[in-house]
Structure 1
């Protein structure tokens, strides 16, 4: 079977798409909660319901978008056209989400719901095709892993820009008006995302053609329910995202209130985490060329849980330098698994095709995207509820009880979810060796099957469940 290699330009082009996507993901994971409470002016208790409602909408739109990508194909391919069509609406939706209208509280809440739902819908319409794209660029697991290394590196660059440039520009461009500052600076991020999507469209090429199964949504769901490895990735996605978003959402509160810093420290603290994540993308690509990628996935997340406990018990309010050091190490270890996870999705889809004889790629990728956003919603709700429980009041001195709660939300609470993620991956078995053997054995089985058809005129009914790769 011919394996397609990708040029550096195409890997960069592929990564630029995730850089655009992460303008939204990074803002939702790292600054949206802080923006809504301390800048926009919403109550923490209202945020929990906002995040839950949006995730309920995702429960419908994510699978729907996956099915749409399965049904329609253009001369540009099945996935790439969405980057061209929705690039400008994506940028506008980001600008609107971070704009603050000068109206009464209830109307501001309605505006927050409307714009957050809008940006989420457009985000879904480009993200589902994007995460599906790697499966048709190349069939080489190492090329997929390498491309995802570029992708996640550039995604972290976007996160870096959002976390360090947005707070700084908001303070300087707003001239004391932080609401105006966030509107202008996030508008700039939206413009950048538009350009990046267009660059991704023009520099990538769909080489593989997976014929979608002509089966109903319900049947696709039943097919996926039989794919044990895909289900494990779903669980890992939810638990990992919950942990990541809780920590990311509270990082600004931790820098501002627990460490007692201003806008500069908030920016520096967030940038420290993102810088560590960028380095983790490089390190992960290097490590997985020499060691088992699945073992890296498992043990890095268990390490996160250990580091989280260490951070809670060893960092006091005056230990600023130590807080930065531990947060850097924690953020580095957290993201070592990321390139592995996103390359594993396409491999799990292929696994399901070989195991069950049917492919449900659209719903597979749509389901993973929903799991990610479901995790974001659950985490957002947890943050809202916990801030309310710990009696958080924006823009004023916090009680010892509140500060302890903020410290827990940065460390032990998210660390627990990463522990669950690492433990569940001990059931995951699609290593590179397993995947390559599976494809080779499946190709050989098809050749034998075709010979049987030529010799007897009838198709062999050998079960996919008897495939040698699944007996291990």
Structure 2
């Protein structure tokens, strides 16, 4: 098989830049938008996120099955990236729109648009994340591909965090009440050609003939009975509870606890900036330590960073910046989970002849969404339990709740994530 070239890695990384322009906008700002602009209560937002993930339990595996049984001259996965991208633009704009239908009508609208956004994101992102499994059978190339997509993620997140609040405030000054909608729409429109560029250039080199494709039932059986597959899926769930749960509620910490609105962008960006520095070293670190040990190191750094923010003097800006640097070093393990999934696909194929890549990657995507929903719902629920109400005075009790939801809860979850990593038994 021909070796991958720089253009392949670049094109694949660009795909995750595009993903972040939609989904990181959602994960970082949708909770705040729903409570402070849309007008939903914190508890209603938490329930909405959980209901959406229940639907994903049906939708994501269904998408995986469709992918596995798609056979076109462009491959099994790339067509869905190309088709799903424009739908993602539409639903991103709709999700950040306040329709003015009254309290009940607005709530129903939020359910329809948010669940719809999750469906088209699945249609676009699950095939994207599965591409390394069909682009190369060389583990080192797979590591580099997944490092490229993690770099794309970090670059997209940095750009988004740098620009979002200034853009929201700018557009609010021109069109009151529409700052989030216009900003989210602009990001989604920029993401569209990036998705298409990725789909065009990331060729699928490993193919499955239609007559050799296993049934969806068989693919599910292979994945559910595979200890290594379930270990990676469990790790993904816990990692996303910690990471995206913190990101989803972090703005409350910076606004109401640190009380430094001017530095929100710096704090939100710092771990990603550090990640952008350490991630290029990821493949060499993985080659030296192996994927499991690299993940151990990453999770420990993330745990320590969160605990520093929880126990430390949160109004001491230099100290907080140091804590965010420590947390950001944990991004060094970002490529490991996806590379482990490719190893699982290869292992199942070598043992059984089946290639359940669509089902496996869709289930891992579902695990990530469930983790994000649980993290965001748990974080906002903890803040609500301690008495947070938009527009009301912030008491010390509310600040303690924000601290627990944003920093302590993720630290505990990162420690728990060490367990499924230890259960993964495939050799590097």
Aligned positions of 1:67-86 closer than 5 A:
67-86=65-84
Deviation at 1:74, TM superposition (A): 1.1
Q: 1:108 to 1:274 in 2, by over 3 A?
A: farther
The correspondence for 2:264, drawn from 241, 266, 272, is 266
The correspondence for 2:424, drawn from 424, 428, 435, is 428
Deviation at 1:405, TM superposition (A): 1.3
Deviation at 1:276, TM superposition (A): 2.5
The correspondence for 1:358, drawn from 354, 357, 364, is 354
Give the equivalent residue in structure 2 for 1:239: 238
The CA distance in 2 between the partners of 1:171 and 1:232, in whole Å, is 43
What is the root-mean-square deviation of aligned Cα atoms in Å?
A: 1.9
The correspondence for 1:184, drawn from 179, 182, 186, is 182
Give the equivalent residue in structure 1 for 2:205: 207
Secondary structure, counterpart of 1:411 in structure 2 = helix
Do structure 1's residue 322 and structure 2's residue 308 form an aligned pair?
no
Which is further off, 138-147 or 305-314? 305-314
Give the equivalent residue in structure 2 for 1:377: 373
**CA offsets per residue over residues 232-274 of structure 1, 9 Å max, x none?**
0011011111011221112111110001122x32222212232
Deviation at 1:357, TM superposition (A): 4.6
Aligned positions of 1:432-447 closer than 5 A:
432=428
Deviation at 1:72, TM superposition (A): 1.4
CA contact 2:301–2:329 (8 Å) conserved in 1: no
Gaps of 5+ in 2: none
Q: Which protein is bigger by CA-based radius of gyration? A: 1
Give the equivalent residue in structure 2 for 1:254: 253
Q: Count residues with an aligned counterpart.
A: 427
Q: 1:272 to 1:66 in 2, by over 3 A?
A: same
Which is further off, 287-296 or 104-113? 287-296
**CA offsets per residue over residues 120-172 of structure 1, 9 Å max, x none?**
11001111211111111111111111111111111111112222211111111
Give the equivalent residue in structure 2 for 1:89: 87
Aligned positions of 1:141-220 closer than 5 A:
141-175=139-173, 179-211=177-209, 214-220=213-219
Which is further off, 20-29 or 283-292? 283-292
* Poorly superposed stretches of 4+, deviation over 6 Å: none
CA contact 2:140–2:283 (8 Å) conserved in 1: no
Secondary structure, counterpart of 1:251 in structure 2 = helix
Q: 1:219 to 1:156 in 2, by over 3 A?
A: same
* TM-score normalised by the chain length of structure 2: 0.94
Gaps of 5+ in 1: 433-472
* TM-score normalised by the chain length of structure 1: 0.86
Q: 1:356 to 1:419 in 2, by over 3 A?
A: farther
Do structure 1's residue 306 and structure 2's residue 304 form an aligned pair?
yes
Deviation at 1:188, TM superposition (A): 0.9
Deviation at 1:348, TM superposition (A): 1.0
Deviation at 1:214, TM superposition (A): 4.5
Aligned positions of 1:278-317 closer than 5 A:
278-316=276-314
